[in-house]
Structure 1
Amino acid sequence: MDTTHAKESAVPVTRPAPSFLFFDLETTGADPAFDRPLQFAAIRTDLAFEPIDKPVVWYARPPTDCLPHPAAVMTTGMLPDAPELEGGDSEATLANRVHRLVSQPNTCVVGFNNLRFDAPMLRFLFWRNLLDPYRHEWADGNSRFDVLEAARAYRLLAPGALAWPTDNDGRPTLRLAELSAANGLTHERAHDALSDVEATIDLARHLHAADPALWERLLAARDKRQVARLLDAADHAPFLHVSSRLPARVASASVFASFGQVDDNRNRRECWDLRFDPLPWLDLDADAWAERRFLKNPPEDAERDWDDLRLPIKSIHLNRVPVVLPLDALERDGVAQRMVIDRERITLHAEHFRTRFAALRERLVGALERTEGDLPPQPVEQALYAGFVPPGDRRLLDDWWARARSLASRVEAIDHARGLMTMRFADDRLAELVEGFVARNLPEALDATARRRWQARLLERLRPGEDGDDESAGGRDFPGLRAEIVRLERDERWSGEQRALLAPYRDWLARREREVVSLARG
């Protein structure tokens, strides 16, 4: 870790005015738990979307233990040896900078598809780098919001707000580049983080201007208590829910009724899709419900045998800013027609849900008991959701980082990292997580034994043996990527310009493999 970059001024004692922090990431791939940020860009605005700070654009060097996917290279146009990446920060320095930026009090962190991708990517970035992965999302007046989900809601509830593009097959699309082009928004370079941020701000501005009241209703869901009040109504009152998990042909929306909290997760509610009559499902026992939870065939698939259809239940997380609205939203002009719902049938199904609630809930609880289990073993860098870090361990790590930010030289940072390696933690994950953190950012601090362990891990992940039984790299090893390059070279869905990046990427991959082998041999 370069402490000359990590050292920054403390967060002001006086709480700043509420602001939006629009941000975007470009990464090594599409898996938030495995992949790593390479570019971070952000612009802070006031609540009227006017910038109040200078834009930030930060780059990180590709880490030794995570190889960029060639599809990510073709998408972003950034080769791993691009000057801005090779001259970028260590991952620890990037994590520290971003963590302090998003943790400023009264910040609403905003992106486009950030709740499903960028926000989890930040959580894992902070986890790998020993920073609190959650606090920035809720503490000190902070929150988060997703303009993609807002756009999805506007398409249903206020379709006059924008021109809504379609893809080459005539299907509606909410891709940022297509929305920008269709509506004349600022968007110079798709998949450049700063350009995507600028486009997201422009899109948010347009949505707000078209229907300020709807924007405020959607923003209200940042408070999970408000979401809970709607979903936990005593009479199981139906509500409208818009989600990418619902079919586009019904405007990605349906009417639901909630079972309330049914397990130990206080932030999750299981909800019944009222397009479907719950009574026939009572003919099935809890085992059958468990089998139906994860079937691929949606419950509305009329061409499938009823026995092959998925249970019409959806999880809604109170703390993920869901688009949930009272049923009066159906009164807006054309909403029910766009959702292709029969309101009389919805009312009937809601009555069946209320009258047979106890039996339905009993089936659901039984199904959850049969399907909810422990997470399979994972590499420690991906084990964030295996449990919260104990408070005592959290204080040790926070204190370590507080001291690290004050160091003026790399020599001091190395000595400080050696102290970190001697700490004893209650959480069994942390000793290995700390060793990986030090190996990636301050390898000089490793002793001979720890260095050999790290070298062995690199070889095991990136150059698996002939049996190929190591899955910790998610298939992202040297042999696997060489095969992926060959496949992508023949894939004409990518442009010629994009596929031209595969040859220099192959050269970089060969150089990186030689470096890893040389490092492992010491």
Structure 2
Amino acid sequence: MYLFYDLETSGLEPCWDVPLQAAFLQTDANLTVRRELTLRCRLPAHIVPSIDALMVTGVTPEMLENQRDSHSEMMAQIARIIANCKPAMLIGYNTIRFDDEVLRQSFYQSLLPPYCGAMTGHGRADVLTMLRAVMMLEPDAVVIPRDALAKPVLKLGEVCRLNGIALSEADAHDAAADVRATRDLFSLLLERAPTTMATMLGHARKSGPLALMDAGEPIILGGTSRLTPVLPMIGSPTNPSARICIDLSQDPAAFIDLPAPELLAGIRSNRSPVRQVKTNAQPILVGWDQGAHALVEREPDQVYRNRARMLWAHPTFTRQLALALQDQYADREPSPWVDGQLYQGGFISDADSAASRRWHEIAWEHRAAFAAQHIADPRLRTLAIRQVFLHAPETLSPEARTRGRAWLRERLTAEDEVPWMTIPRALARCEELAATSDPETRGGLEKIRDWLMDRREALGIPPATIVATACTAAS
């Protein structure tokens, strides 16, 4: 069974933006549609959407506010849809890099299981990734649109239209239209490139790429537009779902004797010899016989085999490689905001997962006290109080409501450099776009600007301050 899905979001930052529309298309193994569903939700009170995203999708302030379901309610529905379909193959277009991460972050911030799409027997496949694989391995199978510089353009709408699949530009940012087109493009790829697609579908679960890499022999790894000969060597010291491969197009003599600190510097350079392969992200990975013909600037096979033997035979290279990668992210600053801490505090414990399920079952007036007593993870406790403030502030103590209002005001109007969209930055972007837009577009921007002004005035900030702050942000 396949479950195709697509999201339309408030912006492009998974930690700080949210889904506003979600479309699902459930099919059988023959791609016959069994169920179709589209969900929409209201914009959460603490989110300011990207102005560019609103203009692209055509979403209006009225559409953001006049939906039946809250964001939390929609996320709970999505979690149930995914759980009730297991085991299935979850498929979308650019979902592994974007939509999956948006869902994961929104599940986490809604006290729902963050990994419900990856740890419950589902496979995860991405039609964009599979299209890239076909483009590199079987380039005559599909027609790829190109820009004025002859570079591939892999926007869903353009690829579909060039290959006879209906998806108008007007519909290209509607989740329901996108998910149908994704199903049709997937079907086309299965028909025209069955060998590559069979391999890629085998990599929709970890077992596929692991089986290919376990032999420790040279194989072919695909990126966004180019294939690389690699040698799988060690597991990643920082990611249990990743394997470390060495680029065999580079002569190992340049790095094989380096100590860990110098090797790390090379890994961080533009010519890193290291490729990390995430086994849970449907990597483009094929055996030598299947992919070597498509290598650019291919050397004799014996050259790659000799380099592989040199790497395995070296007495200290794998040890130095592991030490170097162990410190790869040592200088990364942790996020001070709970929204960005999903990957900082470890996996959610079984006890906290059970407590979170119970938290969703009880009435709002009991949730703040329940979280304080039964949820141990400080991230989840903070997010639980946030959700109560956003949905039922009257159930909180006066002190908690005061803290919540101060947080919301700071979240929406922060003038410091922050990773989320704020009202002043959004107003400044409206002014920038209006300066170069046609009259119809300016009319839409004016409505968005008025809505943003109303949101800020509701926080008790006078209009003169709003205009001054927006001008400062634009300068």
Cα deviations across residues 131-158 of structure 1 (Å, max 9, x unaligned)? 111133232x322110100000111122
Does the Cα contact within 8 Å between 2:16 and 2:420 map onto a contact in 1? no
Cα distance, 1:282 vs structure 2? 3.1
1:315 corresponds in structure 2 to 276
* Aligned counterparts of 1:216 and 1:289: Cα–Cα separation in 2: 37
Q: Which runs of 4+ in 1 moved over 6 A?
A: none
2:352 corresponds in structure 1 to 393
Q: CA RMSD in A?
A: 2.3
Cα deviations across residues 151-203 of structure 1 (Å, max 9, x unaligned)? 00111122232111102332112111110121111213111111110110010
1:479 corresponds in structure 2 to 424
1:120-131 mapped onto 2 (5 Å cutoff): 120-131=101-112
In the alignment, is residue 59 of structure 1 matched against residue 17 of structure 2?
A: no
* Aligned counterparts of 1:416 and 1:87: Cα–Cα separation in 2: 26
* Aligned counterparts of 1:285 and 1:97: Cα–Cα separation in 2: 51
Decide which of 365, 382, 387 is 1:437's aligned counterpart.
387
Which moves more between the two structures, 219-228 or 124-133?
Answer: 219-228
Does the Cα contact within 8 Å between 2:93 and 2:126 map onto a contact in 1? yes
Q: Secondary structure of the equivalent of 2:245?
A: strand
1:144 corresponds in structure 2 to 124
1:252-331 mapped onto 2 (5 Å cutoff): 252-263=226-237, 265-282=239-256, 284-295=258-269, 298-299=270-271, 311-330=272-291
Cα deviations across residues 269-313 of structure 1 (Å, max 9, x unaligned)? 121111111111135432222233333xx32xxxxxxxxxxx221
Aligned AA for 1:68?
P
2:82 corresponds in structure 1 to 102
Decide which of 415, 428, 433 is 1:488's aligned counterpart.
433
In the alignment, is residue 199 of structure 1 matched against residue 181 of structure 2?
A: yes
* Aligned counterparts of 1:75 and 1:95: Cα–Cα separation in 2: 23
Does the Cα contact within 8 Å between 2:355 and 2:374 map onto a contact in 1? no
Does the Cα contact within 8 Å between 2:256 and 2:311 map onto a contact in 1? no
Q: What runs of 5+ residues in structure 2 fail to find an aligned partner? A: 462-475
Does the Cα contact within 8 Å between 1:286 and 1:366 map onto a contact in 2? yes
Cα deviations across residues 27-79 of structure 1 (Å, max 9, x unaligned)? 111011111111111111112211011x2111111111110011111221112
* Aligned counterparts of 2:230 and 2:426: Cα–Cα separation in 1: 43
* Aligned counterparts of 2:176 and 2:274: Cα–Cα separation in 1: 38
Aligned AA for 2:143?
A
Q: Secondary structure of the equivalent of 2:103?
A: helix
* Aligned counterparts of 2:247 and 2:455: Cα–Cα separation in 1: 50
Say if 1:313 and 1:489 are closer, same or farther in 2 by CA, change over 3 A.
farther
In the alignment, is residue 366 of structure 1 matched against residue 323 of structure 2?
A: yes
In the alignment, is residue 170 of structure 1 matched against residue 127 of structure 2?
A: no
Aligned AA for 1:377?
S
Does the Cα contact within 8 Å between 1:92 and 1:129 map onto a contact in 2? yes
Aligned AA for 1:420?
F
Decide which of 190, 199, 204 is 1:217's aligned counterpart.
199
Cα distance, 1:215 vs structure 2? 1.9
* Aligned counterparts of 2:102 and 2:373: Cα–Cα separation in 1: 27
Aligned AA for 1:115?
I
Q: TM-score, normalised by structure 1?
A: 0.82
Decide which of 284, 289, 311 is 1:353's aligned counterpart.
311
1:505 corresponds in structure 2 to 448
Does the Cα contact within 8 Å between 1:59 and 1:89 map onto a contact in 2? yes
Cα distance, 1:490 vs structure 2? 5.0
Say if 1:450 and 1:162 are closer, same or farther in 2 by CA, change over 3 A.
same
Cα distance, 1:426 vs structure 2? 2.1
Say if 1:230 and 1:112 are closer, same or farther in 2 by CA, change over 3 A.
same
Aligned AA for 2:46?
D
Aligned AA for 1:327?
W
* Aligned counterparts of 2:239 and 2:421: Cα–Cα separation in 1: 33
2:469 corresponds in structure 1 to none
Q: Secondary structure of the equivalent of 1:126?
A: helix
* Aligned counterparts of 2:80 and 2:31: Cα–Cα separation in 1: 21
In the alignment, is residue 49 of structure 1 matched against residue 6 of structure 2?
A: no
Query: Which structure is higher in RCO with an 8 Å CA cutoff and minimum separation 6?
Result: 1
In the alignment, is residue 238 of structure 1 matched against residue 199 of structure 2?
A: no
Decide which of 69, 88, 91 is 1:89's aligned counterpart.
69
* Aligned counterparts of 2:258 and 2:4: Cα–Cα separation in 1: 47
In the alignment, is residue 184 of structure 1 matched against residue 164 of structure 2?
A: yes
Q: Secondary structure of the equivalent of 1:35?
A: coil
Say if 1:260 and 1:284 are closer, same or farther in 2 by CA, change over 3 A.
closer
Q: Secondary structure of the equivalent of 2:234?
A: coil
Does the Cα contact within 8 Å between 2:9 and 2:18 map onto a contact in 1? yes
Cα distance, 1:128 vs structure 2? 0.9
* Aligned counterparts of 2:25 and 2:300: Cα–Cα separation in 1: 43
Cα distance, 1:84 vs structure 2? 6.5
* Aligned counterparts of 1:420 and 1:128: Cα–Cα separation in 2: 17
* Aligned counterparts of 1:459 and 1:45: Cα–Cα separation in 2: 45
Say if 1:258 and 1:513 are closer, same or farther in 2 by CA, change over 3 A.
same
Q: Secondary structure of the equivalent of 1:132?
A: coil
Does the Cα contact within 8 Å between 1:60 and 1:88 map onto a contact in 2? yes
Cα deviations across residues 325-381 of structure 1 (Å, max 9, x unaligned)? 1111136xx523xx332244433433332333x433233223223333365133112
Q: Secondary structure of the equivalent of 2:124?
A: strand
2:472 corresponds in structure 1 to none
In the alignment, is residue 228 of structure 1 matched against residue 210 of structure 2?
A: yes
* Aligned counterparts of 2:214 and 2:436: Cα–Cα separation in 1: 49
Does the Cα contact within 8 Å between 2:22 and 2:38 map onto a contact in 1? yes
* Aligned counterparts of 1:56 and 1:512: Cα–Cα separation in 2: 31
Say if 1:41 and 1:293 are closer, same or farther in 2 by CA, change over 3 A.
same
1:446 corresponds in structure 2 to 396
1:208 corresponds in structure 2 to 190
Say if 1:414 and 1:191 are closer, same or farther in 2 by CA, change over 3 A.
same
Does the Cα contact within 8 Å between 2:220 and 2:228 map onto a contact in 1? yes
Q: Secondary structure of the equivalent of 1:385?
A: coil
Q: TM-score, normalised by structure 2?
A: 0.89
